Structure 1
């Protein structure tokens, strides 16, 4: 039976014939350039609604384990690989990658020319597509891809947020941090817990008044999936806490804070997804190699999508000046800012970086220093 990836523009990438039940998954097709961290990627809530094409030629070399999970389930719709490996004999493995994907009912397509797929997405942009395993009619497959909603304008945070508040390390001696959980990764939670923070994870529907009623020392804005422009209800909550307590955002949280102070976001052509993205900290000139996973970015102060120089340009907002603090050296998009008048700051990348690199974990220490 056939196995293939079909994109919304009609491009089709064939894999070798497959046995087993007929199945499919549709979503936005994106690529990840990391050499490791495949289990962390598919269990990251930020990949909700997406099909991941892994660019590294061998995926699954060291198996899977509970310790590598970023959440309690797989959020990616499907995976595409040059060669999938099902090893269970690696030192930390508790199971094989392909077997685990099958147990999680996640379609896995391998034996595909992933270089050709990535070149196509790089040139044409991320787009809807589907992985189809088994006997599928071409018209049927195209109709299923066409029926998949576009990520633009899609609120996916509501699908990954908890139903009720979750307390973590309530007996800690550190500050009380209240987080709006739009899909927080377990490795972010671990970094805060390691610093003895008393952490509360709140549903993303929680209002500013409810957050402030918890008497937090700071509000933390997490990563998550989807389009920040579709999350006006979260933006309203964020706007209601700015200036009242320190606020810090990562990834989607960065975008939400920026929108809360009046900045705009836009969809990147194919996003930043991998673990080798250089980011410059403008205050010190330090360059960190960072882990990234996002498809949207923040518009510059003059409406520009990229920043030409390495100077800390400024936006004027209702909450005082917002100053560029970090810059992506691949495409010169905004990677972070600070609002010194209200004690707020953001980074677009992932300083927790499960499984790595760990260059930027100091960001969590800097966040806690903001609290005094």
Structure 2
């Protein structure tokens, strides 16, 4: 096996075995605590610009299959594991993790102390890193990493370029794509929705012209404040059409309503995060992937109400507008991968749409 090195911007160096693509890569190093679901993680557009460390020690044992992708083109920068399996055992497996990463030009590194790396990130926060060849001078890499500015075009990279339609006979939904996971689209089509997927910068006037019954704001990568056009769009449509936001969509809804967001120390990534629903008094296990969160203090100055919180750190996991039909969650109710505890949120959205439609009909015939 070809030896490679992982270099962090703080000067820490790990030596391991390279797999996947042999290209050098750099990005923000983050960790995911899921025991399974590596295929969905690799194909999740929200990881655009990031090198992902899997804390579970064995990865690749069930291979790669055709059914579990969250996007056609992976945007992940690199992959870090303790051990990867070259000969997967699974009746659905089409190829190994190694061949898939090679085919998609994604470098990987294995055989390093992933527990140590996770502890470094937890203690010091996420930081930039580079997977590179052994002959690259460490000091040069560190200097380059420290000088590299944060990417601000991640949503632009992952969003669809043109609108497209997924036909259905049910409610007409406009899905604003900030880096959408296919799991969200699957949940809407499962409910027979007629879905029009539009780019992140599709204006409010164009969206309202489509006469939607509801609007969904999807997940996506990066800082929500890097998408000011989306914030302005939400300001114009809120109150006119029912809204449901997920992950980045949740943060954008909060910003549009006057709240604020901040970058977390190391974020939430994994399929095992407990969230308490303050309205129902229930606790759910959720799938999460985000670096930013809505700040608690900023909610007090808005018409938003906190509906759910994370039990690990008490960060905001759900909000609801107290005047208009709009709500959002920080986690992924489509759960790809992860538990399906909160899948009913899509049904709640359908019910909200039906209530608004019924109210509008009453006003017309009154």
Unaligned runs of 5+ in 2: 355-366
> What does residue 261 of structure 1 align with?
257
Give the C-alpha shift of residue 134 in structure 1.
Answer: 4.3
Q: Give TM-score, length-normalised by structure 1.
A: 0.92
Could you tell me which of 273, 276, 281 is aligned with 2:272? 276
CA contact (8 A) 2:20 2:100 kept: no
How many Å separate the matches in 1 of 2:293 and 2:21? 39
Could you tell me which of 285, 294, 300 is aligned with 1:315? 300
CA contact (8 A) 1:183 1:223 kept: yes
How many Å separate the matches in 1 of 2:278 and 2:90? 41
CA contact (8 A) 1:20 1:134 kept: no
How many Å separate the matches in 2 of 1:298 and 1:87? 43
Q: Give TM-score, length-normalised by structure 2.
A: 0.93
Alignment of 1:335-354 (within 5 A): 335-354=317-336
> What does residue 199 of structure 1 align with?
195
Runs of 4+ deviating beyond 4 Å: 18-22
Per-residue deviation, residues 98-134 of structure 1 (Å, max 9, x unmatched):
1111111110100010000000000000011111134
> What does residue 310 of structure 2 align with?
328
Distance 1:360 1:243, change over 3 A: same
1:67 is paired with a residue whose SS is coil
CA contact (8 A) 1:26 1:148 kept: no
Unaligned runs of 5+ in 1: 304-313
How many Å separate the matches in 2 of 1:20 and 1:94? 16
Alignment of 1:245-256 (within 5 A): 245-256=241-252
How many Å separate the matches in 2 of 1:75 and 1:20? 15
Alignment of 1:1-372 (within 5 A): 2-16=3-17, 23-150=23-150, 154-168=152-166, 170=167, 172-300=168-296, 302-303=297-298, 315-317=300-302, 321-372=303-354
> What does residue 310 of structure 1 align with?
none
CA contact (8 A) 2:59 2:85 kept: yes
Greater helix share, structure number: 2
Give the C-alpha shift of residue 22 in structure 1.
Answer: 5.4
* Count of residue pairs brought into register by the alignment: 353
How many Å separate the matches in 2 of 1:371 and 1:315? 27
CA contact (8 A) 1:167 1:199 kept: yes
1:324 is paired with a residue whose SS is strand
> What does residue 307 of structure 1 align with?
none
CA contact (8 A) 1:322 1:337 kept: yes
Distance 1:28 1:341, change over 3 A: same
